[in-house]
Amino acid sequence: MELKGTQKLLIGGEWVSSRSKATREIRNPATLELLGTVPECDAEDVNAAVGAAAAAQHAWWKTPGAEKAKLLREMGARIRKMESELAHLMTLETGKPISESFDCIEWVAACFEYYSEVARRSYGNSVPPVAPHQVNFTIKEPFGVVAAIVPFNFPLLLMSWKVAPALAAGNTIVCKPPHQNPLTNLLLAKVYDVLPPGAVNVVTGAEATGEALIAHPKVDLIAFTGSSKVGRRIASVAGQNLKKVNLELGSVDPFIVFADANLDVAVPGVAWARLLNAGQVCTSSKRIYLVKDIADEFVERLLKHVKSVKVGDPAKTDTDVGPLISSAAADLVERQVAQAVKEGAKILLGGKRYQPGGLKGHYFEPTILVNVKHGSLPTTEEIFGPVLSITVAKDADEAIFMANDSKYGLGACIYTNNLEIAMRAMENIKAGTFWINDPLTDNDAAPFGGMRWSGMGRELGEEGLDAFREPKHVHMDYVMEAKTYWYPYKNRKLPHQ
């Protein structure tokens, strides 16, 4: 499959050619086949997109909530009708197994449907007044123009988590899909034609495009998902102009398997939580802590289970794990594994790049590292690849301590049937989401985001709607009268007089 010609941009409700002459080829990470070519947008393209969003924002803000909800529901329905087309293109350009791609499209549609409902029932507060004949209340207003920037691993899902609530809150948006795989976002953008022109705009490109977008004076809020390094850069640039930011950043999430866990469940659960999307998931379980009593049996079972996982062409329905997104990504994982070995880890399985079935893509073997020391690279640095890192804890308390001993805090998972241990772990591990016996399950109605270096702000839930609006306090005195505390002060009688 190849999309002919350089793809166009969505700006002001029209599909237009880029002002920039620079382009970027998009290739299938599994086969390296050319899929299409997109513009490498420059400051002119970004300026046009932001200008269109700014021009449309006031009218969209004032569109009745019932109409906004209707349009969000319609976009959700359209996404469902495009499910197969979107899922297959996503698999081609991301390397995500086709079953995972279909799951993603379901979640994307559900997000638009959820915010069509939650925005309709959202409300401000009535505040007790401080004096007679006064009324105080709060309303919530949009920020204005939102820049939505997402990474390659979940290009549609993470975009929907920004676009749906931002629209529901009354903002307009400029989307910058990931430069590695923007084609599915351009395809998804067809559903935005139900909106007023300029409500959602899409530009493509890499770092320079993103820099122009976050620095644009008419961008009021930057919603970003990606690495902590880039998130700190965005926060720095935004801070210079006091732009608001919502940052969902990387992490080195822990997974504790306690001594009472059912290994028939825990072994495949841990493997899936780490190998999902070839390990390219911000919340995947990158630090696995096993309580000593069950460690040997767990590792033995894990080795057998991971050997049964099928790595191959993600377009085939029996493939479990696909490729990494790029050659550079695979090279980095290989270097990180080598450094882990230098620090004392042992490779029990995998550990290198390879081409399953003769495929030419960016594959890395599912890898198991044992004897990983807490504090070494696999427990402190995010490995964005299919690497299971095993550390043994002497008991539950040490496992909880090590799980919390991190500068990150996006998510954490545990397996236990002991309520006391589960609650103790929950209370003592800093994480935006804490999963007990059901790893990595999201809920549109619950907030998602990180603590510590894993970000600021939240997506999903009503908190995700509030991330795209700010409260205004309204103070009204319905009797217009002069106040006794105005000038001149000589007429006032003070309490001590």
* Six token digits for residue 388: 């299971």
pLDDT value, residue 484 = 86
What is d(CA 366, CA 311) in angstroms, rounded to the nearest whole number? 8
Locate the DSSP E strands across 100-143: 126-127, 134-142
Could you give the count of Cα atoms lying within 13 Å of 151 in the half-sphere of its Cβ? 17
Coil, strand or helix at 133: coil
User: Are 69 and 117 within 8 A, CB to CB?
Assistant: yes
pLDDT tens sequence across 223-265: 999 998 899 999 988 888 889 999 999 999 999 999 999 999 9
Is the torsion defined by CA of 456, 462, 468, 469 positive or negative? negative
**441: exposed, middle or buried (Cβ count in 10 Å: 0-12, 13-18, 19+):** exposed
pTM for this predicted structure:
0.93
Does an H or E element contain 349, and which? strand 346-349
pLDDT surpasses 90 at 493: no
Task: Give the tokens for residue 139.
Answer: 């309303």
Is residue 4 pLDDT above 90, yes or no?
no
Q: What is the reported pLDDT for 3?
A: 75
Instruction: Specify the pLDDT at position 497.
Output: 60
Side-chain-side CA neighbours of 7 within 13 Å: the count stands at 29
Tell me the CATH class for 253-436. Answer: alpha beta
Q: Quick check: 5 pLDDT over 90?
A: no
What angle do the packed helices 98-121 and 83-94 form, to 10 degrees?
120
In the sheet that holds 134-142, the strands lie side by side as: 126-127, 134-142, 469-477
Q: Which residues are catalytic?
A: 248, 282
pLDDT value of position 491? 82
Q: Which two tokens stand for residue 304?
A: 């057998």
How confident is the prediction for the chain on average, in pLDDT?
A: 94
CA-to-CA distance for 408 and 454, rounded, in angstroms?
A: 5
CATH superfamily of 9-248+467-474: Aldehyde Dehydrogenase; Chain A, domain 1 (3.40.605.10)
Tell whether the model's pLDDT for residue 122 goes beyond 90: no
Using DSSP bridges, classify how beta strands 221-225 and 145-149 pair: parallel, antiparallel or unpaired.
parallel
> Long-range contacts for 484-487 (Cβ within 8 Å, ≥24 apart)?
none
Share of the chain above pLDDT 90, in %: 90
Q: Phi, psi (5° rounding) for residue 474?
A: -110, 125
Residues carrying CATH 3.40.309.10, the chain: 253-436
